[in-house]
Structure formats: C-alpha cells, structure tokens
Amino acid sequence: MPKTPDDFTELEYARQILEFVLGWPAKGNLETVADCLRSIAAKKRLSKVQAHAYLSRAIKLAEKQGEKIDKFWLNDGEYMHVRPSDDKEFRGTFKKPSPEEQQAAEASNRSYFESQEYKDFVAKFTREHSL
C-alpha cells in the first residue's frame, strides 16, 4: 500500500483502504469506511493517519484469522474488537521475555529507582517545578 499523506480527508483515506486493503469498489462503500475512520479516531483519540493504520491493520488481522469482512462487519464496528491471536501477529516480532529476562528487567528497574541518580533527578525536578 502506498504511503498516505497527512493531509488526506477521511474520504481519501477510505478510498486507500477500499482499493489497497479490501479491493472493493469505492462507490457505495466510501462513506461507510470514512465513517469507520471517524469512529476510530473519536473513540481511540487518534489522528486520521493513525485511524487509517488502525483500520487497515484490523482488517488484515481479521482476514488472517478467518473473519468475513463485509459491510455488516464494518457497520457493526467489529474492527474495534480485532486482537492478535498469537504473539507473532502482534507487530510481527513480539517475543515474550523468558522468566529470567523478566526478573533481570525487574531487578534493573528496581536498582535504578533505588539509585542516588534517580533520587537526585526527582529532587531536581521537584525544585524546578515547585512540587
């Protein structure tokens, strides 16, 4: 899918999704997809660009998971409920840390928040911002 400019209208973003993600005709579908983009942007407090990316990804994930994508799916707002079915679908490269990696990360965080460096930072920030 080509990059989308930041200054597209919802209808132009909708046309991109229809043409490059769904492969549907624009006539009769354009306003439905544009309404979905507006709903996503309002509900999730996203920009038009982010709403476009959200809906494109939701459609691709839902198709991959075997869901039938049609006007009813869009009109019912099913795109708001699409979730990755496994770790590989989540951004493609997500890997859960092993218990050892998790413990090491927690210990590192604990040691930082207990360090003099962190205490100095908090004291300086508090002074500068009159907290």
DSSP 43-89: HHT--HHHHHHHHHHHHHHHHHTTPPPSHHHHHTTGGGG---SSGGG
Residue 54 CB partners (closer than 8 Å, separation 6+): 40, 44, 46, 79
pLDDT in tens, 63-108: 988 899 998 999 899 989 888 776 555 554 445 667 887 787 777 7
**117 and 69 in one domain?**
no
104, part of any domain:
yes
Give the total number of structural domains in the chain.
Answer: 2
Q: Taking all residues of the chain, what is their mean pLDDT, rounded to a whole number?
A: 79
Determine the pLDDT at residue 126.
81
Cα-based distances in Å from 21 to 37, 65, 105, 123: 14, 15, 39, 51
**110 and 75 in one domain?**
no
Instruction: Supply the range of the domain harboring residue 115.
Output: 99-128
